[in-house]
Structure 1
Amino acid sequence: MTTWSTPRRVVLSLGSNLGERMQNLQGAVDALFDASGLRLVGLSPVYETAPVGGPEQEAFLNAVVVVDTALDPDTVLERAQNVEDAFHRVREVRWGPRSLDVDIIDAGGEQRDDPALTLPHPQAHTRAFVLQPWSDVDPDAEIPGKGPVRDLLAALTGQELHRRDDLVLQVPD
Structure 2
Amino acid sequence: MNEEKADIHSQEDLAVAYIGLGSNLGDREQYLKEALRMLEEHPEIRILGLSSFYETDPVGYVDQDPFLNMVAAVGTTLSPEDLFAQMLGAEQHLGRKREVRWGPRTIDLDLLLYGSRTQEDPRLILPHPRMMERAFVLIPLIEVMKAQNPQQAGALEDHLRRLSGKEGVTLWKRMQ
TM-score clears 0.5: yes
Given the two structures, how large is their TM-score scaled by the length of structure 1? 0.87
Divergent runs of 4+, >4 A: none
Corresponding residue to 1:35 among 42, 46, 59: 42
Corresponding residue to 1:156 among 160, 163, 168: 163
Structure 2: how far apart are the matches of 1:97 and 1:152? 28
Query: Does structure 1 residue 60 correspond to structure 2 residue 63?
Result: no
Corresponding residue to 2:121 among 87, 103, 114: 114
Structure 2: how far apart are the matches of 1:107 and 1:153? 20
Query: Does structure 1 residue 93 correspond to structure 2 residue 100?
Result: yes
Q: Higher helix fraction: Structure 1 or Structure 2?
A: 2
Query: Residue 82 of structure 2 aligns with which residue?
Result: 75
The question of whether the paired residues in 2 share the 8 Å contact of 1:126 and 1:152 is answered with: no
Pair 1:42–1:111, CA change in 2 (3 A): same
Query: Residue 144 of structure 2 aligns with which residue?
Result: 137
Structure 2: how far apart are the matches of 1:141 and 1:97? 34
Structure 2: how far apart are the matches of 1:141 and 1:45? 20
In structure 1, what residue type is equivalent to 2:45?
A: L
- Alpha-carbon RMSD: 1.8
The question of whether the paired residues in 1 share the 8 Å contact of 2:135 and 2:165 is answered with: no
Q: Which runs of 5+ in 1 are unaligned?
A: none
Corresponding residue to 1:24 among 24, 28, 31: 31
Query: Residue 133 of structure 2 aligns with which residue?
Result: 126
What is the CA-CA distance between 1:54 and the residue it aligns to?
A: 2.1
The question of whether the paired residues in 2 share the 8 Å contact of 1:17 and 1:98 is answered with: yes
What is the CA-CA distance between 1:109 and the residue it aligns to?
A: 1.2
Larger mean Cα displacement after TM superposition, 134-143 or 22-31: 134-143
What is the CA-CA distance between 1:120 and the residue it aligns to?
A: 0.3
Q: Percent identity?
A: 39
Q: Would you say how many aligned residue pairs link Structure 1 and Structure 2?
A: 161
